[in-house]
A = this chain, B = another copy of it.
Amino acid sequence: MDRHSLETLEYEMALFVRIISNISDRKIGNLDRSAYLLLHQLMVQGAVGVKDLAASLQLDVSTVSRQAAALDQKGYVVKLPDPQDGRAYFYHITEQGAKALLEEKKARADMIDKLLSDWSEEERRQFGEQLKKLNRVLKEYEEVKKGG
Contact = CB atoms under 8 A, between A and B. Distances in A.
Contacts of A8: 128-129, 132
Contact of A10 (B20, B105, B133): B105
A30 interface: no
Closest 3 CB pairs of A and B: A9-B128, A12-B131, A8-B128
Interface string A13-52: 1111111111110100000011011001000000000000
Interface residues of A, number: 59
**Interface on chain A toward B: helix, strand, loop, or mixed SS?**
helix
Given A22-B142, A37-B15, A115-B141, A9 B130 contact: no
Interface stretch (A71-79, A80-88, A90-98, A117-125): A117-125
B10 A109 contact: yes
A58 interface: yes
Contact of A115 (B7, B11, B26, B134): B134
Contacts of A139: 19
B10 A132 contact: no
A124 B58 contact: no
A9 B127 contact: yes
